Amino acid sequence: MKLTNEELEILAILEENHRVPVETIAIQIQLSEEKVQQIIKKLEDEKIIISYPALIDWTKIDGKENIEAMIDVKVTPKRGVGFDEVAERIYRFPEVTSLYLMSGTYDLSVTVEGKTMKEIAMFVSEKLSTIENVISTTTHFMLKKYKHDGVIIEGKQDKDRRMVVSP
Amino acid sequence: MSLDYERYLANTANHLQPSGIRKFFDLAASMKGVISLGVGEPDFTTPWNIRETAIAALEEGFTSYTANAGLIELRQEISTYLEKSFHVQYQAENQIIVTVGASQALDLAFRAILNPGDEVLIIEPAFVSYAALVSIAGGNPIAIPTYASNGFKVTAKQIENAITAKTKAILLCSPNNPTGTYLNKQDLLEIAAIIEKHDLLVLSDEIYSELTYDEKYTSIVTIPGMYERTILINGFSKGFAMTGWRLGFLAAPPELTSVMVKIYQYTTMCAPNMLQHGAIEALRNSYDQVETMRQSYRRRRNYIVHALNSIGLDCHIPGGAFYVFPSIIRTGLTSEEFAEQLLKQQKVAVVPGSAFGESGEGYIRCSYATSMQQLQEAISRMKVFLEPLLVREV
Protein backbone atom coordinates (compact mmCIF):
# COMPACT_ATOMS: atom_id res chain seq x y z
CA MET A 1 0.00 0.00 0.00
CA LYS A 2 1.36 3.42 -0.95
CA LEU A 3 0.93 6.22 1.56
CA THR A 4 1.04 9.97 1.02
CA ASN A 5 3.71 12.14 2.64
CA GLU A 6 1.13 13.48 5.10
CA GLU A 7 0.15 9.97 6.12
CA LEU A 8 3.78 9.00 6.60
CA GLU A 9 4.40 12.10 8.69
CA ILE A 10 1.44 11.36 10.93
CA LEU A 11 2.83 7.87 11.45
CA ALA A 12 6.24 9.30 12.35
CA ILE A 13 4.66 11.62 14.93
CA LEU A 14 2.45 8.92 16.47
CA GLU A 15 5.21 6.35 16.52
CA GLU A 16 7.25 8.67 18.70
CA ASN A 17 4.36 9.72 20.93
CA HIS A 18 0.79 8.63 20.29
CA ARG A 19 -0.59 11.09 22.82
CA VAL A 20 0.09 14.17 20.69
CA PRO A 21 -3.31 15.87 20.30
CA VAL A 22 -4.86 15.93 16.83
CA GLU A 23 -4.85 19.72 17.03
CA THR A 24 -1.05 19.83 17.41
CA ILE A 25 -0.50 17.32 14.62
CA ALA A 26 -2.72 19.42 12.36
CA ILE A 27 -0.61 22.53 13.02
CA GLN A 28 2.65 20.64 12.63
CA ILE A 29 1.87 19.28 9.21
CA GLN A 30 -0.36 22.12 8.01
CA LEU A 31 -3.59 20.18 7.55
CA SER A 32 -7.06 20.68 9.05
CA GLU A 33 -7.95 18.77 12.19
CA GLU A 34 -10.71 16.96 10.31
CA LYS A 35 -8.26 15.81 7.67
CA VAL A 36 -5.82 14.55 10.32
CA GLN A 37 -8.65 12.77 12.12
CA GLN A 38 -9.65 11.19 8.82
CA ILE A 39 -6.13 10.00 8.04
CA ILE A 40 -5.68 8.49 11.50
CA LYS A 41 -8.98 6.65 11.16
CA LYS A 42 -7.94 5.32 7.77
CA LEU A 43 -4.59 4.14 9.15
CA GLU A 44 -6.40 2.41 12.01
CA ASP A 45 -8.99 0.84 9.73
CA GLU A 46 -6.28 -0.46 7.45
CA LYS A 47 -4.52 -1.92 10.50
CA ILE A 48 -1.41 0.09 9.65
CA ILE A 49 -1.71 1.52 13.13
CA ILE A 50 -2.39 -1.66 15.06
CA SER A 51 -2.50 -0.40 18.63
CA TYR A 52 -1.18 2.34 20.93
CA PRO A 53 0.65 0.59 23.75
CA ALA A 54 2.69 2.38 26.41
CA LEU A 55 6.27 1.22 26.92
CA ILE A 56 6.45 0.46 30.65
CA ASP A 57 9.54 -0.45 32.60
CA TRP A 58 7.99 -3.01 34.95
CA THR A 59 11.35 -3.78 36.52
CA LYS A 60 11.06 -0.50 38.43
CA ILE A 61 7.90 -1.65 40.23
CA ASP A 62 8.22 -3.89 43.26
CA GLY A 63 6.39 -7.16 42.81
CA LYS A 64 5.87 -6.57 39.11
CA GLU A 65 9.27 -7.61 37.80
CA ASN A 66 8.71 -10.24 35.14
CA ILE A 67 11.15 -12.74 33.80
CA GLU A 68 11.43 -13.03 30.05
CA ALA A 69 12.85 -15.76 27.90
CA MET A 70 13.45 -16.10 24.20
CA ILE A 71 12.99 -19.62 22.98
CA ASP A 72 14.30 -20.99 19.68
CA VAL A 73 11.85 -23.62 18.47
CA LYS A 74 12.43 -26.17 15.72
CA VAL A 75 9.26 -27.36 14.07
CA THR A 76 8.24 -29.79 11.36
CA PRO A 77 6.09 -27.78 8.96
CA LYS A 78 2.77 -29.30 7.99
CA ARG A 79 1.67 -29.94 4.42
CA GLY A 80 -0.83 -27.33 3.28
CA VAL A 81 -0.41 -24.92 6.20
CA GLY A 82 3.36 -24.78 6.63
CA PHE A 83 4.31 -23.18 9.96
CA ASP A 84 1.10 -21.24 10.42
CA GLU A 85 -0.88 -23.86 12.26
CA VAL A 86 1.74 -24.65 14.87
CA ALA A 87 2.51 -20.94 15.21
CA GLU A 88 -1.11 -20.28 16.02
CA ARG A 89 -1.11 -22.99 18.67
CA ILE A 90 1.83 -21.25 20.29
CA TYR A 91 0.83 -17.59 20.05
CA ARG A 92 -2.57 -18.24 21.60
CA PHE A 93 -0.90 -18.82 24.98
CA PRO A 94 -1.17 -15.55 26.93
CA GLU A 95 2.36 -15.89 28.29
CA VAL A 96 3.73 -15.67 24.74
CA THR A 97 4.42 -11.96 24.08
CA SER A 98 5.90 -12.28 20.62
CA LEU A 99 6.39 -14.90 17.98
CA TYR A 100 8.40 -14.70 14.78
CA LEU A 101 9.16 -17.14 11.99
CA MET A 102 12.90 -17.02 11.40
CA SER A 103 15.39 -18.00 8.75
CA GLY A 104 18.44 -19.95 9.91
CA THR A 105 19.05 -22.80 12.29
CA TYR A 106 15.65 -22.79 13.97
CA ASP A 107 12.14 -21.89 12.85
CA LEU A 108 10.17 -19.99 15.45
CA SER A 109 11.41 -17.39 17.90
CA VAL A 110 9.06 -17.26 20.88
CA THR A 111 9.23 -14.65 23.63
CA VAL A 112 7.63 -15.72 26.86
CA GLU A 113 6.94 -13.78 30.03
CA GLY A 114 6.50 -15.27 33.49
CA LYS A 115 6.73 -14.36 37.13
CA THR A 116 9.48 -16.85 37.92
CA MET A 117 12.01 -18.98 36.09
CA LYS A 118 10.07 -21.99 37.24
CA GLU A 119 6.92 -20.72 35.61
CA ILE A 120 8.72 -20.36 32.29
CA ALA A 121 10.38 -23.75 32.65
CA MET A 122 6.98 -25.30 33.23
CA PHE A 123 5.58 -23.58 30.16
CA VAL A 124 8.40 -24.87 27.99
CA SER A 125 8.37 -28.42 29.22
CA GLU A 126 4.65 -28.91 29.56
CA LYS A 127 3.07 -26.68 26.96
CA LEU A 128 5.55 -25.82 24.23
CA SER A 129 7.58 -29.03 23.90
CA THR A 130 4.52 -31.22 23.92
CA ILE A 131 2.92 -29.56 20.92
CA GLU A 132 2.86 -31.91 17.97
CA ASN A 133 5.45 -31.00 15.31
CA VAL A 134 7.71 -29.20 17.82
CA ILE A 135 11.04 -30.99 17.47
CA SER A 136 13.21 -29.10 19.93
CA THR A 137 13.45 -25.95 22.07
CA THR A 138 16.39 -23.87 23.29
CA THR A 139 15.53 -21.42 26.05
CA HIS A 140 17.50 -18.19 26.64
CA PHE A 141 16.62 -16.18 29.71
CA MET A 142 16.86 -12.45 29.26
CA LEU A 143 19.25 -10.87 31.76
CA LYS A 144 18.97 -7.20 31.03
CA LYS A 145 17.13 -4.97 28.57
CA TYR A 146 19.28 -2.26 27.05
CA LYS A 147 17.00 -1.19 24.24
CA HIS A 148 13.44 -2.11 23.37
CA ASP A 149 11.42 -1.02 20.34
CA GLY A 150 13.96 1.68 19.52
CA VAL A 151 14.04 3.09 23.04
CA ILE A 152 17.19 2.90 25.18
CA ILE A 153 16.12 1.56 28.57
CA GLU A 154 19.33 0.93 30.44
CA GLY A 155 22.44 2.91 29.67
CA LYS A 156 23.67 6.22 28.37
CA GLN A 157 21.17 8.54 26.75
CA ASP A 158 22.27 11.51 24.70
CA LYS A 159 21.95 14.56 26.93
CA ASP A 160 21.41 18.14 25.87
CA ARG A 161 24.87 19.56 26.46
CA ARG A 162 24.43 22.75 24.49
CA MET A 163 25.18 26.17 25.91
CA VAL A 164 22.05 28.06 26.85
CA VAL A 165 22.52 30.82 24.26
CA SER A 166 24.71 30.65 21.16
CA PRO A 167 24.93 32.51 17.85
CA MET B 1 53.70 47.82 37.87
CA SER B 2 50.56 47.83 35.78
CA LEU B 3 50.93 48.06 32.05
CA ASP B 4 49.02 50.28 29.70
CA TYR B 5 47.56 47.41 27.71
CA GLU B 6 45.67 49.72 25.37
CA ARG B 7 49.04 50.68 23.97
CA TYR B 8 49.76 47.10 22.97
CA LEU B 9 46.43 46.17 21.44
CA ALA B 10 45.75 46.41 17.73
CA ASN B 11 43.13 49.03 16.91
CA THR B 12 40.90 46.85 14.78
CA ALA B 13 40.80 44.04 17.30
CA ASN B 14 40.42 46.35 20.26
CA HIS B 15 37.50 48.17 18.71
CA LEU B 16 35.54 45.13 17.60
CA GLN B 17 32.01 45.22 19.00
CA PRO B 18 31.46 42.40 21.49
CA SER B 19 28.69 40.11 20.24
CA GLY B 20 25.25 41.11 21.52
CA ILE B 21 24.66 37.46 22.27
CA ARG B 22 27.46 37.25 24.80
CA LYS B 23 25.68 39.45 27.34
CA PHE B 24 22.59 37.30 27.10
CA PHE B 25 24.52 34.14 27.48
CA ASP B 26 26.03 35.37 30.75
CA LEU B 27 22.62 36.32 32.12
CA ALA B 28 20.84 33.14 31.05
CA ALA B 29 23.67 30.87 32.17
CA SER B 30 23.43 32.26 35.70
CA MET B 31 19.76 31.24 36.05
CA LYS B 32 18.14 27.90 36.78
CA GLY B 33 15.09 26.39 35.03
CA VAL B 34 15.56 28.39 31.84
CA ILE B 35 13.92 27.15 28.65
CA SER B 36 16.16 28.28 25.89
CA LEU B 37 15.02 29.32 22.45
CA GLY B 38 18.39 30.99 22.15
CA VAL B 39 20.48 28.11 20.92
CA GLY B 40 21.93 28.36 17.44
CA GLU B 41 22.58 24.68 16.94
CA PRO B 42 20.64 21.42 16.45
CA ASP B 43 19.13 19.67 19.45
CA PHE B 44 20.14 16.35 17.92
CA THR B 45 23.40 14.71 18.87
CA THR B 46 25.53 13.71 15.88
CA PRO B 47 24.19 10.45 14.36
CA TRP B 48 25.90 7.46 15.96
CA ASN B 49 27.40 6.02 12.78
CA ILE B 50 29.36 9.27 12.33
CA ARG B 51 30.55 9.33 15.93
CA GLU B 52 31.45 5.66 15.79
CA THR B 53 33.54 6.20 12.66
CA ALA B 54 35.53 8.99 14.31
CA ILE B 55 36.09 6.84 17.40
CA ALA B 56 37.34 4.00 15.20
CA ALA B 57 39.62 6.42 13.35
CA LEU B 58 41.13 7.52 16.63
CA GLU B 59 41.56 3.90 17.71
CA GLU B 60 43.23 3.06 14.42
CA GLY B 61 45.69 5.85 15.00
CA PHE B 62 44.63 8.54 12.54
CA THR B 63 46.33 11.16 14.65
CA SER B 64 48.67 12.81 12.18
CA TYR B 65 48.28 15.95 10.04
CA THR B 66 46.38 15.61 6.82
CA ALA B 67 46.93 17.54 3.60
CA ASN B 68 46.23 21.25 4.18
CA ALA B 69 43.08 21.08 2.14
CA GLY B 70 41.91 17.97 4.00
CA LEU B 71 41.85 14.23 3.35
CA ILE B 72 41.50 13.62 -0.36
CA GLU B 73 38.79 11.02 0.30
CA LEU B 74 36.75 13.63 2.14
CA ARG B 75 37.26 16.20 -0.60
CA GLN B 76 36.13 13.62 -3.13
CA GLU B 77 32.99 12.98 -1.09
CA ILE B 78 32.35 16.73 -0.89
CA SER B 79 32.84 16.98 -4.64
CA THR B 80 30.31 14.18 -5.17
CA TYR B 81 27.93 15.79 -2.70
CA LEU B 82 28.05 19.13 -4.54
CA GLU B 83 27.59 17.44 -7.87
CA LYS B 84 24.63 15.39 -6.65
CA SER B 85 23.03 18.38 -4.95
CA PHE B 86 23.60 21.10 -7.53
CA HIS B 87 25.00 19.42 -10.67
CA VAL B 88 28.18 21.47 -10.46
CA GLN B 89 31.72 20.18 -10.80
CA TYR B 90 34.36 20.98 -8.22
CA GLN B 91 37.70 19.19 -8.49
CA ALA B 92 38.65 17.50 -5.23
CA GLU B 93 42.35 18.10 -5.95
CA ASN B 94 42.36 21.88 -6.25
CA GLN B 95 38.92 23.42 -5.68
CA ILE B 96 37.86 22.22 -2.24
CA ILE B 97 39.29 23.03 1.19
CA VAL B 98 38.14 21.35 4.39
CA THR B 99 38.12 24.00 7.11
CA VAL B 100 37.69 24.28 10.85
CA GLY B 101 34.00 25.15 10.68
CA ALA B 102 32.31 27.28 8.05
CA SER B 103 33.44 30.25 10.17
CA GLN B 104 37.03 29.61 9.23
CA ALA B 105 36.08 29.25 5.60
CA LEU B 106 34.60 32.75 5.78
CA ASP B 107 37.72 34.05 7.46
CA LEU B 108 39.96 32.53 4.78
CA ALA B 109 37.79 33.95 2.05
CA PHE B 110 37.85 37.49 3.42
CA ARG B 111 41.58 37.42 4.07
CA ALA B 112 42.19 36.16 0.57
CA ILE B 113 40.15 38.80 -1.23
CA LEU B 114 40.16 42.00 0.81
CA ASN B 115 42.56 44.91 0.51
CA PRO B 116 42.31 47.69 3.09
CA GLY B 117 39.12 49.65 2.53
CA ASP B 118 37.44 47.12 0.26
CA GLU B 119 33.73 46.91 0.89
CA VAL B 120 31.67 43.79 1.45
CA LEU B 121 27.90 43.94 1.28
CA ILE B 122 26.17 42.13 4.12
CA ILE B 123 22.45 41.53 4.16
CA GLU B 124 21.11 42.26 7.64
CA PRO B 125 19.80 40.94 9.98
CA ALA B 126 22.87 38.73 9.70
CA PHE B 127 24.92 36.20 11.58
CA VAL B 128 26.99 38.00 14.21
CA SER B 129 30.42 37.13 12.77
CA TYR B 130 30.18 38.53 9.28
CA ALA B 131 30.86 42.20 9.89
CA ALA B 132 33.60 41.43 12.41
CA LEU B 133 35.35 39.04 10.03
CA VAL B 134 35.34 41.64 7.28
CA SER B 135 36.82 44.23 9.66
CA ILE B 136 39.50 41.86 10.93
CA ALA B 137 40.53 41.24 7.32
CA GLY B 138 40.87 44.98 6.78
CA GLY B 139 37.67 45.50 4.82
CA ASN B 140 34.58 47.59 5.45
CA PRO B 141 31.31 45.77 6.06
CA ILE B 142 28.38 47.59 4.44
CA ALA B 143 25.02 46.57 5.86
CA ILE B 144 21.93 46.36 3.68
CA PRO B 145 18.85 46.21 5.88
CA THR B 146 15.92 43.95 5.06
CA TYR B 147 12.38 44.07 6.37
CA ALA B 148 9.60 41.75 7.44
CA SER B 149 7.29 43.32 4.82
CA ASN B 150 9.45 41.66 2.17
CA GLY B 151 10.04 38.43 4.12
CA PHE B 152 13.53 39.74 5.02
CA LYS B 153 14.62 39.33 1.40
CA VAL B 154 17.05 41.75 -0.13
CA THR B 155 16.03 43.33 -3.42
CA ALA B 156 18.22 43.83 -6.45
CA LYS B 157 17.59 47.56 -6.21
CA GLN B 158 18.84 47.71 -2.62
CA ILE B 159 22.02 45.94 -3.63
CA GLU B 160 22.56 48.24 -6.58
CA ASN B 161 22.12 51.30 -4.36
CA ALA B 162 24.74 50.05 -1.91
CA ILE B 163 27.43 49.38 -4.50
CA THR B 164 30.35 51.82 -4.68
CA ALA B 165 33.68 51.79 -6.50
CA LYS B 166 35.13 49.97 -3.50
CA THR B 167 32.60 47.16 -3.37
CA LYS B 168 34.37 43.88 -3.90
CA ALA B 169 31.99 41.20 -2.75
CA ILE B 170 28.56 40.37 -1.45
CA LEU B 171 27.91 37.87 1.29
CA LEU B 172 24.70 35.86 1.00
CA CYS B 173 23.38 33.47 3.61
CA SER B 174 20.38 31.42 2.63
CA PRO B 175 18.60 30.03 4.57
CA ASN B 176 19.47 32.89 6.87
CA ASN B 177 20.41 33.05 10.51
CA PRO B 178 18.52 34.76 12.25
CA THR B 179 15.48 35.23 9.98
CA GLY B 180 15.24 31.76 8.40
CA THR B 181 14.67 33.49 5.06
CA TYR B 182 15.32 31.33 2.04
CA LEU B 183 16.22 32.81 -1.34
CA ASN B 184 14.65 30.81 -4.13
CA LYS B 185 15.81 30.58 -7.71
CA GLN B 186 13.86 33.64 -8.80
CA ASP B 187 15.36 35.75 -5.99
CA LEU B 188 18.84 34.53 -6.87
CA LEU B 189 18.41 35.26 -10.57
CA GLU B 190 17.60 38.89 -9.79
CA ILE B 191 20.51 39.25 -7.41
CA ALA B 192 22.88 37.48 -9.80
CA ALA B 193 22.12 39.96 -12.57
CA ILE B 194 23.33 42.86 -10.39
CA ILE B 195 26.36 40.90 -9.22
CA GLU B 196 27.40 40.23 -12.78
CA LYS B 197 26.73 43.77 -13.92
CA HIS B 198 28.99 45.16 -11.19
CA ASP B 199 31.53 42.37 -11.39
CA LEU B 200 31.39 41.37 -7.70
CA LEU B 201 32.51 38.23 -5.97
CA VAL B 202 29.95 36.20 -4.02
CA LEU B 203 30.51 34.53 -0.68
CA SER B 204 27.65 32.11 -0.36
CA ASP B 205 27.22 30.82 3.18
CA GLU B 206 25.15 27.69 2.64
CA ILE B 207 25.51 26.16 6.09
CA TYR B 208 21.72 25.68 6.39
CA SER B 209 21.30 24.26 2.88
CA GLU B 210 20.13 20.88 4.16
CA LEU B 211 17.41 22.58 6.15
CA THR B 212 14.83 23.96 3.72
CA TYR B 213 11.22 23.00 4.24
CA ASP B 214 9.07 24.03 1.32
CA GLU B 215 11.29 23.52 -1.67
CA LYS B 216 14.58 21.91 -2.54
CA TYR B 217 17.63 24.10 -1.98
CA THR B 218 19.01 26.18 -4.84
CA SER B 219 22.62 27.31 -4.63
CA ILE B 220 23.68 30.52 -6.33
CA VAL B 221 26.46 28.58 -8.08
CA THR B 222 23.78 27.02 -10.28
CA ILE B 223 22.78 30.44 -11.65
CA PRO B 224 24.54 31.05 -14.99
CA GLY B 225 27.63 33.25 -14.61
CA MET B 226 27.90 32.74 -10.84
CA TYR B 227 30.07 29.62 -10.53
CA GLU B 228 33.18 31.54 -11.66
CA ARG B 229 32.68 34.28 -9.08
CA THR B 230 31.40 32.36 -6.05
CA ILE B 231 33.13 31.05 -2.98
CA LEU B 232 30.70 28.41 -1.77
CA ILE B 233 30.86 27.85 1.96
CA ASN B 234 29.19 24.98 3.72
CA GLY B 235 29.85 22.51 6.49
CA PHE B 236 28.61 19.68 8.61
CA SER B 237 27.37 21.61 11.64
CA LYS B 238 23.71 22.18 10.96
CA GLY B 239 22.51 19.55 8.50
CA PHE B 240 24.41 16.69 10.11
CA ALA B 241 24.19 17.99 13.70
CA MET B 242 27.98 18.28 14.03
CA THR B 243 28.47 21.80 15.42
CA GLY B 244 31.10 20.88 17.99
CA TRP B 245 33.23 19.04 15.42
CA ARG B 246 34.11 22.35 13.80
CA LEU B 247 34.21 20.98 10.27
CA GLY B 248 33.30 23.05 7.28
CA PHE B 249 34.44 23.36 3.72
CA LEU B 250 34.67 25.81 0.87
CA ALA B 251 34.60 25.30 -2.86
CA ALA B 252 35.75 27.90 -5.37
CA PRO B 253 37.66 28.43 -8.60
CA PRO B 254 41.26 27.14 -8.25
CA GLU B 255 42.71 30.66 -8.63
CA LEU B 256 41.01 31.54 -5.33
CA THR B 257 41.48 28.28 -3.42
CA SER B 258 45.21 28.28 -4.15
CA VAL B 259 45.54 31.58 -2.28
CA MET B 260 43.23 30.53 0.54
CA VAL B 261 45.11 27.29 1.06
CA LYS B 262 48.32 29.29 1.55
CA ILE B 263 46.75 31.26 4.40
CA TYR B 264 45.35 28.03 5.79
CA GLN B 265 48.67 26.21 5.80
CA TYR B 266 50.34 29.03 7.73
CA THR B 267 47.53 29.61 10.23
CA THR B 268 45.94 26.23 10.92
CA MET B 269 47.65 23.51 8.90
CA CYS B 270 44.57 21.29 8.61
CA ALA B 271 41.32 20.20 10.23
CA PRO B 272 41.59 17.35 12.76
CA ASN B 273 42.31 14.06 11.02
CA MET B 274 40.04 11.68 12.97
CA LEU B 275 37.12 14.08 12.70
CA GLN B 276 37.51 14.27 8.95
CA HIS B 277 36.95 10.51 8.91
CA GLY B 278 33.65 11.08 10.68
CA ALA B 279 32.72 13.61 8.01
CA ILE B 280 33.38 11.05 5.27
CA GLU B 281 30.88 8.75 6.97
CA ALA B 282 28.43 11.65 7.26
CA LEU B 283 28.48 12.24 3.52
CA ARG B 284 28.40 8.55 2.63
CA ASN B 285 25.76 7.12 4.92
CA SER B 286 23.67 9.64 6.77
CA TYR B 287 21.06 11.04 4.43
CA ASP B 288 18.17 9.14 5.98
CA GLN B 289 19.02 10.65 9.32
CA VAL B 290 19.42 14.12 7.85
CA GLU B 291 15.98 13.73 6.30
CA THR B 292 14.45 12.60 9.60
CA MET B 293 15.93 15.66 11.33
CA ARG B 294 14.74 17.94 8.55
CA GLN B 295 11.18 16.70 8.86
CA SER B 296 11.29 17.06 12.61
CA TYR B 297 12.42 20.71 12.29
CA ARG B 298 9.74 21.37 9.73
CA ARG B 299 6.99 20.16 12.05
CA ARG B 300 8.35 22.28 14.86
CA ARG B 301 8.61 25.30 12.58
CA ASN B 302 4.97 24.97 11.65
CA TYR B 303 4.04 24.66 15.29
CA ILE B 304 6.03 27.64 16.57
CA VAL B 305 4.98 30.01 13.79
CA HIS B 306 1.34 29.18 14.48
CA ALA B 307 1.80 29.45 18.25
CA LEU B 308 3.68 32.79 18.16
CA ASN B 309 1.07 34.36 15.91
CA SER B 310 -1.69 33.09 18.17
CA ILE B 311 -0.16 34.69 21.28
CA GLY B 312 0.17 38.03 19.53
CA LEU B 313 3.66 38.07 18.02
CA ASP B 314 3.51 38.51 14.26
CA CYS B 315 5.78 36.04 12.61
CA HIS B 316 6.40 35.19 8.96
CA ILE B 317 6.90 31.55 8.02
CA PRO B 318 10.59 31.11 7.18
CA GLY B 319 11.70 28.74 4.43
CA GLY B 320 14.67 27.22 6.22
CA ALA B 321 17.20 27.00 9.08
CA PHE B 322 15.71 26.55 12.56
CA TYR B 323 14.89 30.11 13.52
CA VAL B 324 11.81 32.25 13.51
CA PHE B 325 12.04 36.01 13.78
CA PRO B 326 8.79 37.37 15.20
CA SER B 327 8.04 41.06 15.63
CA ILE B 328 7.79 42.41 19.17
CA ILE B 329 7.02 45.97 18.06
CA ARG B 330 3.47 45.77 19.47
CA THR B 331 4.84 45.35 22.99
CA GLY B 332 6.46 48.79 22.92
CA LEU B 333 9.71 47.31 24.18
CA THR B 334 13.06 47.31 22.46
CA SER B 335 14.24 43.86 21.52
CA GLU B 336 16.86 43.91 24.29
CA GLU B 337 14.29 44.97 26.89
CA PHE B 338 11.92 42.30 25.68
CA ALA B 339 14.53 39.54 25.83
CA GLU B 340 15.81 40.63 29.21
CA GLN B 341 12.38 40.95 30.83
CA LEU B 342 11.16 37.68 29.33
CA LEU B 343 14.20 35.93 30.70
CA LYS B 344 13.90 37.47 34.16
CA GLN B 345 10.13 37.10 34.50
CA GLN B 346 9.41 33.82 32.75
CA LYS B 347 12.82 32.23 32.30
CA VAL B 348 12.59 31.89 28.56
CA ALA B 349 15.75 32.79 26.67
CA VAL B 350 15.51 34.36 23.23
CA VAL B 351 18.04 36.50 21.39
CA PRO B 352 17.27 40.18 20.75
CA GLY B 353 17.08 40.92 17.04
CA SER B 354 19.38 43.92 17.49
CA ALA B 355 22.26 41.47 18.02
CA PHE B 356 22.05 40.75 14.28
CA GLY B 357 22.22 44.33 13.07
CA GLU B 358 20.18 47.51 13.31
CA SER B 359 17.37 46.21 11.14
CA GLY B 360 16.87 43.38 13.63
CA GLU B 361 15.57 45.88 16.18
CA GLY B 362 11.91 45.22 16.92
CA TYR B 363 12.35 41.47 16.53
CA ILE B 364 13.59 38.51 18.50
CA ARG B 365 15.21 35.33 17.30
CA CYS B 366 13.64 32.12 18.57
CA SER B 367 15.33 28.85 17.76
CA TYR B 368 12.98 25.90 17.46
CA ALA B 369 15.79 23.36 17.69
CA THR B 370 14.43 22.13 20.98
CA SER B 371 11.86 19.48 21.89
CA MET B 372 8.13 19.99 21.24
CA GLN B 373 7.49 19.77 25.00
CA GLN B 374 9.97 22.57 25.63
CA LEU B 375 8.53 24.65 22.80
CA GLN B 376 5.03 24.28 24.17
CA GLU B 377 6.16 25.24 27.66
CA ALA B 378 8.07 28.24 26.27
CA ILE B 379 5.00 29.42 24.38
CA SER B 380 2.76 29.19 27.44
CA ARG B 381 5.29 31.17 29.49
CA MET B 382 5.58 33.78 26.74
CA LYS B 383 1.82 34.06 26.68
CA VAL B 384 1.78 34.93 30.38
CA PHE B 385 4.58 37.45 29.82
CA LEU B 386 2.79 39.09 26.90
CA GLU B 387 -0.68 39.47 28.35
CA PRO B 388 -0.15 42.71 30.31
CA LEU B 389 2.04 44.15 27.53
CA LEU B 390 -0.48 43.61 24.77
CA VAL B 391 -3.48 44.75 26.86
CA ARG B 392 -1.81 48.06 27.59
CA GLU B 393 -1.51 48.72 23.90
CA VAL B 394 -5.31 48.75 23.31
Q: Is A167 on the interface with B (CB under 8 A)?
A: yes
pLDDT in tens, B99-140: 999 999 999 999 999 999 999 999 999 999 999 999 999 999
Q: Are residues A136 and A63 in the same domain?
A: yes
User: Is A34 within the bounds of a domain?
Assistant: yes
Q: What is the CATH number of the domain that holds A9?
A: 1.10.10
**Residue among A28, A162, A166 whose CB faces B303 most closely:** A28
A-contacting residues in B 13-32 (Cβ below 8 Å): 19, 21, 24-25, 28-29
Q: Tell me how many domains chain A contains.
A: 2
A72 reaches B (C-beta below 8 A): no
Interface check for A45 against chain B (CB to CB < 8 A): the answer is: no
B394 pLDDT higher than 60: no
> A94 with A70, same domain?
yes
Residue A65: predicted pLDDT: 85
| Rounded-to-integer distance, Cα B279 and Cα B273, Å | 10
The span from the CA of B152 to the CA of B179, in Å, is: 7
Q: What is the mean pLDDT of residues B178-185?
A: 97
- Is A50 inside any structural domain? no
Q: Are residues A66 and A41 in the same domain?
A: no
ipTM above 0.95, yes or no: no
Give pLDDT, residue B307. 97
Clarify whether residues A11 and A84 are in a common domain: no
Spatial distance between the Cα atoms of A147 and A154, rounded to a whole number of angstroms: 7
A89 shares a domain with A34: no
pLDDT in tens, B307-322: 999 999 999 999 999 9
What pLDDT is stored for residue B360 in this prediction?
A: 97
Output the pLDDT for position B106: 98
Q: Is residue A129 part of a domain?
A: yes
Q: Does A65 lie in the same domain as A137?
A: yes
**CB-based contact A24 B303, cutoff 8 Å:** yes
Residue A14 lies in a domain: yes
Spans in chain A with pLDDT lower than 50: none
Specify the pLDDT at position B1.
72
Gap from A9 CA to chain B (nearest CA, Å): 8
- Chain A residues with CB under 8 Å of B128 CB are 167
Residues A33, A65 within the same domain: no
Enumerate domains of chain B plus CATH numbers.
5-46+288-393 (3.90.1150.10), 48-285 (3.40.640.10)
3-state secondary structure of A11: helix
Element (H, E) at A33: helix A33-45
Return the bridge partners of B169, or none.
B120, B201
A15 located within any domain: yes
Burial class (CB in 10 A: 0-12, 13-18, 19+), B78: buried
Q: Does B52 touch chain A (CB under 8 A)?
A: no
Tell me whether residue A160 is in a domain.
no
Same domain membership, residue A138 and residue A94: yes
Residues contacting residue B107 through CB under 8 Å, at least 6 positions apart: B133, B136, B137
Identify which of B29, B45, B127 has the shortest CB distance to residue A167.
Answer: B127
In a domain, A33, yes or no: yes
* pLDDT value at residue A155: 76
Here the CATH number for the domain that contains residue A96 is: 3.30.70.920
Does residue A63 share a domain with residue A28? no
Separation in Å, CA of A167 to nearest CA in chain B: 5
The domain containing residue A127 runs over which residues?
58-143
Q: Is the same domain home to A72 and A136? A: yes
Taking CB atoms and an 8 Å limit, are A9 and B299 in contact across chains?
Answer: yes
**Quick check: B300 contacting A, CB < 8 Å?**
yes
Query: Considering the domain boundaries, does residue A95 fall inside one?
Result: yes
Determine the residue of chain A that is closest to B303 in CA distance.
Answer: A28
Q: Does A68 share its domain with A136?
A: yes
Going by the DSSP 8-state scheme, the letter that residue A46 receives in this structure is T
Whole-number pLDDT of residue B392? 58
Same domain (yes/no): A66, A106: yes
User: Min CA distance, A155 vs chain B (Å)?
Assistant: 15
Average pLDDT for chain B: 96
> CB contact, 8 Å: B132 with chain A?
no
